[in-house]
Amino acid sequence: MSLETIRLSQTARDQLVWLKRHTGITHWNVLCRWALALSLRDGSTPLVKEIVTDSNVEMSWKTFAGAHGDIYLALLKQRCIADGEEPTDDAVLRTLLVHIHRGVGFLHGRPDLRSISDFVKLAVA
């Protein structure tokens, strides 16, 4: 596995399509960043450990992380350590995928998220 390309499941793709339509946020990477942050904020370990990346949604690490790649990478490595895993490349990618997927599910399950301002309210809550 490589952190260079991030692929998502069909379920996550469908949820992201719904989120794009209902929030007006048009870029996968922006929604996935929100999803990652929301999931990492939850101290529990995600139940799903393996993700089937069977959709046509993929993005490069550079597109996902933007100018803050070092920060996202540090957060992911720290989460690996907190979860009792050595922060190898495979563990970091697995952590990224499970947290993006869990976060997308969290966002999709929130009917009160209808705009960018709703996302900001969620972030400061």
Q: What is the pLDDT of residues 1-46, one digit of tens each?
A: 468 899 999 999 999 999 999 888 899 999 999 999 999 999 998 8
pLDDT exceeds cutoff 80 at 122: no
What is the span of the domain harbouring residue 60?
A: 5-124
**CA-based angle 39:7:91, to the nearest 5?**
60
Q: Quote the pLDDT of residue 2.
A: 64
Q: What is the pLDDT of residues 70-109, one digit of tens each?
A: 999 999 999 999 999 999 999 999 999 999 999 999 999 8
Q: Quote the pLDDT of residue 118.
A: 84
**Domain at 64, CATH number:** 1.10.1220
Three-state secondary structure call for residue 59: strand
Report yes or no: 32 and 20 within 8 Å, Cβ to Cβ: no
Mean pLDDT of 39-56: 88
How many structural domains are present in the chain?
1
| Residue-wise burial string across 14-35, b where 16 or more C-beta atoms lie within 10 A, e elsewhere | ebbeebeeebebeebebbbbbb
Residue indicated by tokens 């007006």: 24
pLDDT exceeds cutoff 80 at 48: no
pLDDT exceeds cutoff 90 at 61: yes
Q: Of residues 97 and 121, which shows the higher confidence score?
A: 97
> Of 93, 88, 106, 14, which Cα lies nearest the Cα of 61?
93
